[in-house]
Chains A and B, each alone.
Chain A
Amino acid sequence: MKLAKYQDQTGEHWGSVDVDAGTVHQISGAFETWAPAVTDAGPGVLDFIGDPVSLAAVRLLAPRPPRGEILWVALNYPDWPKPEDADPPVFQKPRSAIIGPGDEFRYPALIKKQTQCYFCYETELVAVVGASQIDDPARGSRDILGYTIGIGGALRNVRVGAVGIDLVALRSGKHTSSLGPWIVTKDEFPDGRPAVEFTTRINGVVTQEGDTGDMLWDMDRIVHEVGHRLRLSCGDVIYTGTTGYVGAPDGIFHPGDRIEATIEGIGTLSNSMETNDPYAVHPSQRLGGENRVPNIYPTPLWRRAPQ
């Protein structure tokens, strides 16, 4: 079942989307009440209010409750260099970073201060936590409500901070990541873990192609690692990392770009980039226009030999 958060004249609601009929049917009760039940017993437990209404008459929002935390796991696909026995790097994003389907991305404010930076897109599978609280992270993906699509905005080439990469700067700018268009409950995927293809299109051209089955740390491992670091609860979302790029140097966002992120079995999330150009010199010129993955992970200062 596809679960969407939407806004109509009466306020914000959650509903079940029927894509073929083009309708959404309002779910009764609070997200925190029904989400744990759906996670345990499947979407059959849901109660609905009134009749389905046309999707065209409502505005879809990012499918997460306002209080939930936003986590992301970096470098989860083989395209990124890393040591064999690495632990997944886990980080948080602020709530203000997230926009919904159709909203406009903004360039991070830090570009103006650190002019060597450039801003890129990443299509990611996003897991939504359904259990009211994950007390036993060993349960893995069983406590996941379902999956949705995320476009993670990534600021690259940020100055390295005192204890490693400046992670609050990388993925946190206001309106730099999107989420949606809806959550597909886990019962629609075998074993509750999607192994599906995903693509990114920029202005209609494919620039990322991946398969969520190629993740280095699968959903069970991600819940295990994230769940031991913090107490996950209902409505928290986890961005699970992105793959490499095809035919597009480093996935750089150009002003006015239209981005469509598609994940098989979920749908397509579309957004556009703002039209203001924040760069003095465009990064594609600085990078020599080569199709390459930049060295964004230099040795952290604290690991270098003392001088």
Chain B
Amino acid sequence: MKIAYYLDSGVRLWGELDLEANTVRPFEGRFEQWAPAVTEAGRDGVSFAGGAISLDSVKLLAPVHETAEILGTGVNYATHGLPRHGADVPFYMRPHSAIANPGEDLVFPDIIKIQPRCRFSYELELCVVMGREVGDPDHGIRDVLGYAVGNDGRLVFQRPNFIGMDMTGSKCGYKGSSVGPWIVTKDEISGDTQPDIEMTMRINGVITQQARTSAMNKDISALIYELDDRIGLKAGDIIYTGTPGYIGIDTGFYTPGDLIEAEIEGIGILRNRMEHTNRDIGSNAAKSSHEVGWR
């Protein structure tokens, strides 16, 4: 089942998306009620609050429940680097204001104004949406509601603060990231096992990232295990699971007006455009990572 979060006459609703019929149909009850039921029983877990309406009369929103936490994972694919010296996987958090809706323009982060050497880039990621609190920490994937496509905006060449990388500065810019366009429940992907699906990133039609989700260093259950110890996951929480390396380019910097198409097999294509205003004033300051010795 495809689950959409959408705006219908000013009201935000969750419902089932039917792409062939081009309709959405709202769920009965609150997110906290139906999400655990769908996690347990799939489509049998929900009842509907009304009839199907045309997709053209609503606006799709990023499928983020209003009190959900949005978590990110660093270095989880060998092609993009792995934690050195056996260190733990780095995690970070991101506010809701950092997420753009499907189809909406992305925005260059404000921090470029005070740190002009920064450059902004994209990261293609599989997003995991939790359906309930974690029951068995060794098999966290059982508590996953489904998956969505994620574009994880990332600032590079940023000034580290004195206790490590400034992940808040790097990852939290207003509408710098996106997730969506909808959630596909896990029974349509791989059930309670690690998904093995292809992810492809196209910038203006050119493939710049491509990998299979089976190549993750820490699989989804392992990430959930680590995160549940740290924050205690709950229904709706979203985990970006890390990005693979780039193909044929250095680090995937945006240029204004770029068309970003993030596609994951079995889920769909998440499309956004980078804003046309060139706020990327760092573009002349630093041309490559070697120049600033960042990595």
Contacts of A300 in B (CB 8 A): 163-165
Main secondary structure of the interface of A (DSSP, over half): loop
Residues A98-140 near B (CB distance < 8 A): 108-110, 113, 137
A109 touches B163 (CB 8 A): no
Residues B36-68 near A (CB distance < 8 A): 66-67
Stretch at the interface among A167-175, A189-197, A200-208: A167-175
Question: When chains A and B are docked, how far (Å) is the Cα of A160 from the Cα of B92?
Answer: 14
B89 interface contact, C-beta 8 A: yes
Contacts of B172 in A (CB 8 A): 92, 229-230
B167 interface contact, C-beta 8 A: yes
Number of A-B contacts (CB under 8 A): 156
A82 touches B162 (CB 8 A): yes
Answer whether A230 and B161 are a contact pair too, CB < 8 Å, given A162-B89, A168-B227.
no
Question: When chains A and B are docked, how far (Å) is the Cα of A89 from the Cα of B166?
Answer: 7
Contacts of B71 in A (CB 8 A): 168
Contacts of A162 in B (CB 8 A): 74-75, 83-84, 87-90
Question: When chains A and B are docked, how far (Å) is the Cα of A173 from the Cα of B230?
Answer: 6
A90 interface contact, C-beta 8 A: yes
A89 touches B163 (CB 8 A): yes
A11 interface contact, C-beta 8 A: no
B290 interface contact, C-beta 8 A: no
**Range of interface residues on B (Cβ < 8 Å):** 35 or more
A163 touches B93 (CB 8 A): no
In the assembled complex, how far is the CB of residue A247 from the closest CB belonging to chain B, in whole angstroms? 27
Answer whether A229 and B231 are a contact pair too, CB < 8 Å, given A92-B93, A163-B164, A301-B87.
no
A231 interface contact, C-beta 8 A: yes
Contact with B along A44-71 (1 / 0, CB 8 A): 0000000000000000000000110101
A109 touches B169 (CB 8 A): no
Question: When chains A and B are docked, how far (Å) is the Cα of A302 from the Cα of B161?
Answer: 13
Contacts of B109 in A (CB 8 A): 229
B228 interface contact, C-beta 8 A: yes
B168 touches A230 (CB 8 A): yes
A66 touches B231 (CB 8 A): no
Residues A197-218 near B (CB distance < 8 A): none
Q: Which residue of A lies closest to B234 (CB)?
A: A96
B228 touches A91 (CB 8 A): no
B114 touches A228 (CB 8 A): yes
Residues A126-184 near B (CB distance < 8 A): 137, 159-169, 172-174
